[in-house]
Structure 1
Amino acid sequence: MNNTTGALLIAVVGVCLLSGCVPRIEVATPKDPITINMNVKIEHEIFIKVDKDVENLLKNQSGLF
């Protein structure tokens, strides 16, 4: 057996051994249904800062709004 044949034999054995290590990806659907809880409570406060002139106008003429 010469060096070329030995190297070829090692390469073939290496490929055969590595071919068994193929990664496998499996996608499966879940057995239970997916539940999404959407009970969300949103609270917010809005603060408006106005000039003194506008604030006085709103106090004096309360029928605007």
Structure 2
Amino acid sequence: MMAGGCINVNAPDKPIVINLNISITQEVVYRLDNKAKAIIQDNPGIF
């Protein structure tokens, strides 16, 4: 004789939020930093 089981799956009340802003911001800042260094090196009298 097999015993039947019941499994309930409920959706969460709040939407699932995945925040990817941190890595995108770090990448943009890193790229701007490298560009700024290159511009300053190419134009030492800019400041």
User: TM-score under structure 2 normalisation?
Assistant: 0.43
Higher-Rg structure is 1
**Structure of greater relative contact order (alpha carbons < 8 Å, 6+ residues apart):** 2
User: TM-score under structure 1 normalisation?
Assistant: 0.33
Q: Which has the higher helix share?
A: 2
